[in-house]
């Protein structure tokens, strides 16, 4: 794999999205972004293995935003994260990446916060949902979330989610998503149970592994 860095402007992205990346100080892609974004933008499923701090959030965040239709107010992307802290970080990063458009709504759904306000937020709607497995499954069980419109499903820190015992919850969440979605699996390691997850959730995925830090 090439170790050359390249700029976001080499990708087929909307100019206003590139300008916003510039304003965030993102000009060069990190190695995981350079390796994954061409694949993600081709709408292929992907397993990406890279260390913490390598810029994975922007990789899938840009992928989500590149195909999001802001005028279609339905949940078009779902990101599943192992913890509330990570879900909050991912939501905040996607909101920053989404600043080029006025009206992209990102909703965070995690445990440890009251259910009722979340249900009210879901009734108002969102384009992108970021959440933890238990709470997402809870909403699915209550019928308060509709995931059949999901075009992009991201399993972030998949190895951690499996280690924390979330595998069966994820099975239930994935089953509620559109079968025609694109699925992106990000993991710091690639043990056997992640291979099993990828076979169950992804379709002919590309596999990339980036060793270097950015």
Residue ranges that bind ligand ADP, judged by CB under 6 A = 25-26, 28-30, 33, 50, 52-58
Contact 109, 131 (CB under 8 A): yes
Distance CA 114, CA 12 (A): 41
Tokens of 178: 């559109």
Residue 141 Cβ vs ligand ADP, minimum distance, rounded to whole Å: 29
**11-42 core/surface letters (b: 16 or more CB in 10 A; e: else):** bebeeebbebbeeeebeebbbbbbbbbebbee
Applying CB under 5 A, the span of 32-40, 51-59, 95-103, 122-130 interacting with Mg ion comes to 51-59
Applying CB under 5 A, what is the total number of residues that bind Mg ion?
1
Q: How many helices (H) and strands (E) are present in the chain, helices listed first?
A: 9, 7
Which one, of 16, 148, 164, 160, lies nearest residue 75 by Cα? 148
User: Which of 8, 40, 56, 173 contacts Mg ion by CB under 5 A?
Assistant: 56
- Identify the H or E element spanning 77: strand 77-80
Residue 51 Cβ vs ligand ADP, minimum distance, rounded to whole Å: 7
Select from ligand ADP, Mg ion, none the partner in contact with residue 201, using the beta carbon and a kind-dependent cut-off of 5 to 8 Å: none
Applying CB under 5 A, the span of 55-63, 112-120, 146-154, 193-201 interacting with Mg ion comes to 55-63
Beta bridge partners of 107: 129
3-state secondary structure of 187: strand
Residue 90 Cβ vs Mg ion, minimum distance, rounded to whole Å: 7
Give 26 or 201: the residue with its C-beta nearer to ligand ADP: 26
Tokens of 91: 């939501």
Give 12 or 124: the residue with its C-beta nearer to ligand ADP: 12
Give 16 or 85: the residue with its C-beta nearer to Mg ion: 85
Select from ligand ADP, Mg ion, none the partner in contact with residue 187, using the beta carbon and a kind-dependent cut-off of 5 to 8 Å: none
Give 50 or 122: the residue with its C-beta nearer to Mg ion: 50
Which one, of 186, 64, 74, lies nearest residue 126 by Cα? 74
Residue 128 Cβ vs Mg ion, minimum distance, rounded to whole Å: 16
Residue 25 Cβ vs Mg ion, minimum distance, rounded to whole Å: 18
Tokens of 94: 């996607």
Residue 135 Cβ vs ligand ADP, minimum distance, rounded to whole Å: 21
* Residue of closest CB approach to Mg ion: 56
Q: Which residues bind Mg ion (CB under 5 A)?
A: 56
């Amino acid at each position: 794999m090439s170790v050359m860095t390249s700029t976001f402007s080499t990708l087929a992205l909307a100019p206003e999205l590139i300008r916003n990346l510039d304003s965030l100080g993102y000009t060069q892609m990190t190695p995981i972004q350079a390796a994954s974004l061409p694949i993600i933008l081709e709408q292929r499923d992907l397993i990406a293995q890279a260390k913490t701090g390598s810029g994975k959030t922007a990789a899938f965040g840009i992928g989500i935003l590149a195909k999001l239709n802001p005028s279609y107010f339905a949940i078009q992307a779902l990101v599943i994260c192992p913890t509330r802290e990570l879900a909050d970080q991912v939501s905040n990063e996607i909101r920053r990446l989404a600043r080029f458009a006025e009206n992209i709504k990102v909703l965070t759904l995690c445990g440890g916060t009251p259910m009722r306000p979340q249900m009210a937020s879901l009734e108002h709607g969102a384009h992108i949902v970021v959440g933890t497995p238990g709470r997402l499954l809870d909403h699915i069980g209550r019928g308060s979330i509709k995931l059949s419109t999901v075009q992009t499903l991201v399993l972030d820190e998949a190895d951690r989610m499996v280690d924390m015992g979330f595998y069966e919850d994820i099975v239930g969440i994935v089953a509620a998503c559109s079968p025609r979605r694109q699925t992106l699996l990000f993991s710091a390691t690639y043990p056997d149970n992640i291979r099993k997850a990828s076979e169950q959730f992804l379709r002919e995925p590309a596999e990339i592994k980036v060793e270097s830090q950015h």
